[in-house]
Structure 1
Amino acid sequence: MADPETSSPPRVPLKRTASAASLADVLDSSRKKLKEEGASEDTNASRVVAGDLGGLVATGGVTAELIEQLAQELQCGCCCSLLYRPVLVQPCQHAFCGSCCVLWIKNGGTNCPACRGISTTVTPCRPLQTILDVLLRSAPHLARTERERQQADEIYTGTTMRIPAPRESSPDPDVNASTEYARPCPNCSAGNAYGWVCAQPIVDPNVDPENAWPLEDGAPPGHASCGNCENLLALASPLTSKCDFCQVSFCGITAQGRCMAAAILVQQPHEYQDVGDMIQSANIYESFSNNNVEVEIMLDYLTTQNISPRHIYRDIVTHILLQPRGFLPLIEQELFVDVHSSAGGTDPDPQAPRNKICRQCAAEVFLYGLRDWFLRERSKGFLEEAVLRKKDCVDGAECRRQQEFDHAREFNHMVPFASSQAAQGAAPPVPAIVPPPPAPLADSDDDHDDDDDDNDDEEETDVILNAGAVDRSFESMSDVSIPALAAAQQDEDMPDVVF
């Protein structure tokens, strides 16, 4: 064993990657050691230059010192253990365990854990895996335990991953929050760049402190706080928009595309730009009752089919609009209450049509319908056979053990909730109306009674067939345009929905 006083200092974690250059340095030092011990330099040097570590193992040329140094160079910067299923972070090419990278992304990581540089993708590294296999054949005691390998395999499936870009933070709120008086909004000053002037401008406290508006009295007349940037806005400004779900107004000035309520089908759900954002979101797992197995199946499906969160959101909205009660079940559940720090107004009519929605409320709709959307997607047959053939759990979606990995992997819990129809606002199936039997007539009309019964049977059959035709009319409307959707709803005597 090497003397601690003369041995090289320990490698600083996360300082460099297990690159080819660093491995060459280790092998060069080992070659010098073998030369001092009288080994055949020509034979061993040729093997090292060729990178034939397997040959060194076969001839007994791998020393304990070489194994130790290789193990240090092949150490994961996250878990500080020997790499398992190594991956490279691009473009810096630092190496980590695949499972460590997945957990790092899920916990909100956007930059490389080693150099903190901007990272784009994570790719499997076969050359490092080959070196690890050769090393473990000569030093099997360095291998992970079977349980550790099993847990890591459950987390990382061996695919290339995209690292989400760092989120752009909203601008800091105006100094209204830390001052005693309200300051003018962007539309209060005459000749402002937005083409509209407030009818009741806010007095600048620095110019006229005696007539300034105290913040303790609430928002000044004709003004409110923006739901995104929290700055004061003019309610009557053409740039101001209002969400029909949370009743909060947005200035449309501070952060373009974020300080606004847009049409329902074109809005972007807050914090869900791509699949990487879904991986990091704890709300995604909560919407699946924290069943990590089912969430990973869905995420793999989204990656394979190249489906974005915005595409899912539009499918969910279209499905909700096709329901008889539309968004009313979501409003009755108070799904959009207190989604902003800025106070919203009172909903004048919960049954009124909904035209515009903000990003936060769009995210609530996205999370509300995500699980049912994936249930509908599973019927398309794109999932693996092993997933589709899993036995259904006897407790279904209400199972309390689906958070246990072994149980979730063995049984399928992707079945509708018992109250899914009520939660979606779907009307219960209406039985066909059967005409009441005719009143008894005189014996002399028995023959006519038989004819009437036959007519009744024909009418009942016609009612059932017509009901089936109505049901089938909705099957081809998943990609229907907005005008066609509204026309279809009016034709079927559904509540009017204004888009």
Structure 2
Amino acid sequence: MGSLLSRSGPASSYANVLKRRASPSFESLEDDTSRKRLKEDVNDNAIDSGSNQNLLMTQHAFADDLAQELNCGCCSELCYHPVVVSPCQHFFCGSCCVLWIRNGGSNCPACRGISTSVTPSRPLEAVIDVLLRAYPAKIRAEGERIQADEVYKAGTPLRIPTPREASPEPNLNQNADFARPCPHCLPGNPYGWRCPQPIPDPVSDPDHAWHFDDGTPPGHLYCGNCENLLAIGAPTTTKCDMCQVSFCGVGVQGRCIASPLQSQHPHGISDVGDLIQMPELYECFGSNTVEVEYLLDYVTAQGLTPRHIYREIVTNLQSQPTGFKLLIELELFVDLHGVAPGVDPNPDAPRTKICRLCAAEILLWGLKDWWVRERQKGYLDESVSKRKDCPEGSECSKQKDLGWCFVFLRRAYI
């Protein structure tokens, strides 16, 4: 008997003969499985698409929450060049904090707690940078950033001045029609001296009371600080040689007095913190905040007080041939007080006594020239002291351009 191969065709034909079809039950199972797998694939794709959408929504929500947490406590916008107040750890835009201080702020803008320092926050700056790289739409407007950069130099520490104690309330004359006796008018007063022309008490002697419509009672003037009547010849009475206003010496201790030039305190300027919150300081330098920051850093580093600077300015004026004559001719001391001044008996007379308000005027008037002299002592870093003079001088139109002011020296504002 011959082999099977010898009776049939090619091998493929035998393959077709030997290959069995799947049973009907198996074919049905295969179709169901394929449809199931197809359905699972479709469902998986739908789940993946939904998951991506949910993830994207979650990321946007996270970015919104993070941006909300990084809002400045002053302007309620995303912080720009953030600074942190110690010890409370509240943070703000650097420019917002500067404006808070310039407007008289003496504590944390958020909690009103007394603060010791304000420092730039590199960690917060880094977090904000990462947020803006992922979501650039959250960046502050360009105009806002330009304005902020004009107010605050990034990376600069700030100082919040300590609150000043309130001045004692002046004992103002309560009677609107009649003058009351001054401290030296009454017999047996505790000051050991009595007015030769005492003012009658309107309560005990109404028939002889002095009516204000008749002017100032003879032998008396009004104190430039407490604005009460004073006896001109009393041992405690002093007169400022600058503004020609008299002071009683007994109303408010340390304030109702014209002191010798070198021993007076400039009114309202007891420490560097007081200088920081004075708009007049920036006006002295033509709003050149760069130069003001150099001045404040120098004064702080050297441990100088406003009173020390005032004394040096006075010493320099006294060494000049004209002394204080120029300041008087400029009417620097006119209308500083709420009372009428006396008459200057001799404009060329020596000036030995000064009140607190006039001392403050001298400090602010001479601060620029003092700073110029101080820079020449060589204590400043060369990057500051060797800046070139501005070719435009005091007429420079770029005095508020911080980039320009970093390059050029004092003649941009003097």
- Give TM-score scaled by structure 1 length: 0.65
SS at match of 1:366: helix
Query: Is 1:70 the equivalent of 2:66?
Result: yes
Which of 300, 304, 308 is the matching residue for 1:307? 304
In the alignment, which residue of structure 1 is the partner of 2:245?
248
Which of 258, 264, 272 is the matching residue for 2:261? 264
SS at match of 2:377: coil
Query: Is 1:144 the equivalent of 2:164?
Result: no
How far, CA to CA, are the matches of 2:219 and 2:134 in structure 1? 77
Query: Is 1:203 the equivalent of 2:161?
Result: no
In the alignment, which residue of structure 1 is the partner of 2:191?
194
Query: Is 1:383 the equivalent of 2:380?
Result: yes
Q: Which amino acid aligns with 2:217?
A: P
Distance 1:359 1:175, change over 3 A: closer
Q: For 1:16-415, what aligned pairs fall within 5 Å after superposition? A: 63-145=59-141, 148-149=144-145, 151-157=147-153, 158-176=155-173, 179-405=176-402, 407-414=404-411
Q: Which moved further from structure 2: 339-348 or 401-410? A: 401-410
Q: Which amino acid aligns with 1:138?
A: A
Query: For the Cα contact (< 8 Å) 1:171–1:254, is it kept in 2?
Result: no
Query: For the Cα contact (< 8 Å) 1:171–1:229, is it kept in 2?
Result: no
Q: Deviations over 1:189-248 (max 9, x none)?
A: 333333333332222222222211112222212221111121222222222221111111
SS at match of 1:176: coil
How far, CA to CA, are the matches of 1:199 and 1:116 in structure 2? 53
How far, CA to CA, are the matches of 1:363 and 1:198 in structure 2? 32
Q: Deviations over 1:460-487 (max 9, x none)?
A: xxxxxxxxxxxxxxxxxxxxxxxxxxxx
Q: Deviations over 1:438-459 (max 9, x none)?
A: xxxxxxxxxxxxxxxxxxxxxx
SS at match of 1:283: helix
Q: Which amino acid aligns with 1:231?
A: N
Q: Deviations over 1:49-85 (max 9, x none)?
A: xxxxxxxxxx999722222122112211211111223
How far, CA to CA, are the matches of 2:162 and 2:237 in structure 1? 29
Quote the offset at 1:173 in angstroms: 4.3
Quote the offset at 1:377 in angstroms: 1.4
How far, CA to CA, are the matches of 1:262 and 1:116 in structure 2? 36
Quote the offset at 1:389 in angstroms: 4.2
Q: Which moved further from structure 2: 101-110 or 184-193? A: 184-193
Q: Which amino acid aligns with 1:104?
A: W
How far, CA to CA, are the matches of 2:413 and 2:130 in structure 1? 49
Query: For the Cα contact (< 8 Å) 2:244–2:343, is it kept in 1?
Result: yes
RMSD over equivalenced CA pairs, Å? 2.9
Quote the offset at 1:148 in angstroms: 4.3
SS at match of 2:188: coil
Query: For the Cα contact (< 8 Å) 2:179–2:210, is it kept in 1?
Result: yes
**Alignment length (residue pairs):** 362
SS at match of 2:92: strand
Distance 1:121 1:209, change over 3 A: farther
Question: Which structure ranks higher in relative contact order (CA pairs < 8 Å, sequence separation ≥ 6)?
Answer: 2
In the alignment, which residue of structure 2 is the partner of 1:485?
none
SS at match of 2:73: coil
Quote the offset at 1:346 in angstroms: 1.0
Quote the offset at 1:315 in angstroms: 1.1
Gapped runs of 5+ residues in structure 1? 1-36, 40-58, 418-499
How far, CA to CA, are the matches of 2:198 and 2:335 in structure 1? 29
Quote the offset at 1:371 in angstroms: 0.8
Quote the offset at 1:392 in angstroms: 2.4
Q: Deviations over 1:293-313 (max 9, x none)?
A: 333332233233332211211
Gapped runs of 5+ residues in structure 2? 1-49
Q: Which amino acid aligns with 2:278?
A: S
What is the percent sequence identity of the aligned residues?
Answer: 57
Query: For the Cα contact (< 8 Å) 1:375–1:414, is it kept in 2?
Result: no
Query: For the Cα contact (< 8 Å) 1:250–1:260, is it kept in 2?
Result: yes
Q: Deviations over 1:276-335 (max 9, x none)?
A: 222222222222233333333322332333322112111111111111222122222222
Q: Which amino acid aligns with 1:364?
A: E
SS at match of 2:294: helix
Query: For the Cα contact (< 8 Å) 1:397–1:414, is it kept in 2?
Result: yes
Q: Which amino acid aligns with 1:219?
A: T
Distance 1:60 1:117, change over 3 A: same
